[in-house]
Amino acid sequence: MDIQTNKFYSFHSTGSLRLWLCTTCLPIRSITHVPRLGVGHSILTKEIQVPEKASRTATNVKRIHLQRRSPEYWRVTLDHPPLNIFGPESIPQLNEIITALETDKDVKVVVFDSAVEGFFLTHYDFLAKPEDTTGLPPGPTGLQPLPDMLVRLSRAPVASIASIRGRATGVGSELALACDMRFASREKAILSHWEVGAGVVPGGGPMARLPRLMGRGRALEVLLGADDIPGDLAELYGYVNRSLPDSALDAFVESLATRIASFDKRAISETKHFADVASLPPDFEIAPEWDVCFASIARPAAQKRIKALMELGFHKPGDVEERLGYYVGQLGRR
């Protein structure tokens, strides 16, 4: 039986990267050019050779740490060295924290930060087994797990703050955008959506969120330009609330978080709710982005560009991950 499907990456011990069918993703109802393939068929005509250093095995290592600095003030630290890549192993860990934020009677503010030098949070894990992602059920909103968690974070009855030092790329940008406030290191923060440069449509809601923050023109510059946005420009565009000197970032965020934590929880949650009504995108705007993201990965243009990135050193420490905006800009010129 032929089915209209999404596609995803899978890494195998042979050191090769293939695109395989994902038959359990959300159906794509509005896309007319998704290839139809038989179940179990690879959609690549040949294997993509991946450097051995890019390989990794699934683990149950804790990658997202929750610290309750007080009953009212929580810190969530992203800790998946060396690149802080977000993958299916991280989804249950983040979901557990989002659920706690939704249900805890005391917490008023949460700060997201990183323990990995140079990386707040980067793109999704392209080397993960497809079933590790597609086997996860939709979340309480009915959205797939990642957009579900981001939507719930935005609506949680607590103030959420992203403290951005290092690269917030792809999923990292989407997590930051889902937070109520974003503060960035002027010298060390980089925000970006690199996906279009690799032939991929972003999937975690940035097309629904960015125009509301910075206007349509600047949002399209970020999304279609697929380039790195440093902290000072991110502030100018409204991507973040403020960029601060790196030496001042931690103290500023700590002061704001402890200040909010001292206020009445009901006043915080009710005020935030009215702001949410006025500013957050509805779920029906976010859901199609996820579908189209996976469909776009199946297309020859994306496969060719991701293959080229892999050959250059994508998905492992080095210049490609550190200057991803530059490298995706070179792909069509090679």
**Number of folded domains that form the chain:** 2
Q: What pLDDT score does 134 carry?
A: 75
Per-residue confidence at 35, pLDDT binned at 50, 70, 90? very low
Give residue 319's domain range.
Answer: 2-56+305-333
Write the pLDDT tens digit of every residue in 6-21.
333 333 322 333 333 3
Q: Are 220 and 199 contained in the same domain?
A: yes
Are the beta carbons of 11 and 50 closer than 8 angstroms?
yes
Q: Are 13 and 108 contained in the same domain?
A: no
The one-letter amino acid at 72: E
Are the beta carbons of 313 and 320 closer than 8 angstroms?
yes
Mean pLDDT of 255-269: 98
pTM for the complete prediction?
Answer: 0.85
Query: Hey, how many other C-beta atoms are within 10 angstroms of the C-beta on 319?
Result: 11
Nearest CA-CA partner of 176 in 190, 157, 197, 187: 190
Per-residue confidence at 334, pLDDT binned at 50, 70, 90? low
Q: How far apart are CA 202 and CA 224, in angstroms?
A: 10
Mean pLDDT of 27-55: 37
Q: Is 95 helix (H, G, I), strand (E, B) or coil?
A: helix
Q: Flag the least confident range among 126-140, 145-159, 271-285.
A: 126-140
Per-residue confidence at 128, pLDDT binned at 50, 70, 90? confident
Tokens of 118: 């140079």
φ, ψ (nearest 5 deg) of residue 264: -75, 130
Res 174 pLDDT > 70: yes
Residue keyed to tokens 């330009």: 225
Tokens of 187: 């010298």
Q: Is residue 80 part of a domain?
A: yes
Q: How far apart are CA 202 and CA 106, in angstroms?
A: 35
Nearest CA-CA partner of 24 in 130, 165, 100, 166: 130
Q: Are 195 and 81 contained in the same domain?
A: yes
Mean pLDDT of 165-185: 98
Percent of the chain with pLDDT over 70: 82
Per-residue confidence at 27, pLDDT binned at 50, 70, 90? very low
Last residue of a domain, one of 248, 266, 284: 266
Res 219 pLDDT > 90: yes
Beta bridge partners of residue 161, listed in sequence order: 111, 181
Res 310 pLDDT > 80: yes
Helix (H), strand (E) at residue 4: strand 2-4
Last residue of a domain, one of 208, 242, 266: 266
Write the pLDDT tens digit of every residue in 66-115.
999 999 999 999 999 999 999 999 999 999 999 999 999 999 999 999 99
Mean pLDDT of 128-133: 80
Are the beta carbons of 202 and 195 closer than 8 angstroms?
yes
Q: Are 51 and 69 contained in the same domain?
A: no
Res 123 pLDDT > 60: yes
For residue 184, give the CATH number of its domain: 3.90.226.10
Per-residue confidence at 298, pLDDT binned at 50, 70, 90? confident
Per-residue confidence at 144, pLDDT binned at 50, 70, 90? very high
Q: Are 49 and 14 contained in the same domain?
A: yes
Could you tell me how far CA 234 lies from the centroid of its own chain? 17
Q: How far apart are CA 180 and CA 273, in angstroms?
A: 11
Res 177 pLDDT > 80: yes
- Burial zone of 149 (CB within 10 Å; 0-12 exposed, 13-18 middle, 19+ buried): buried
Q: Is residue 298 part of a domain?
A: no
Q: What pLDDT score does 59 carry?
A: 53
Q: How far apart are CA 23 and CA 41, in angstroms?
A: 11
Nearest CA-CA partner of 290 in 157, 134, 95: 134
Mean of per-residue pLDDT scores for the chain: 85
Res 251 pLDDT > 90: yes
Res 295 pLDDT > 60: yes
Q: Is 109 helix (H, G, I), strand (E, B) or coil?
A: strand
Q: How far apart are CA 139 and CA 152, in angstroms?
A: 9
Per-residue confidence at 54, pLDDT binned at 50, 70, 90? very low
Q: What pLDDT score does 170 carry?
A: 97
Q: Are 85 and 38 contained in the same domain?
A: no
Mean pLDDT of 197-212: 97
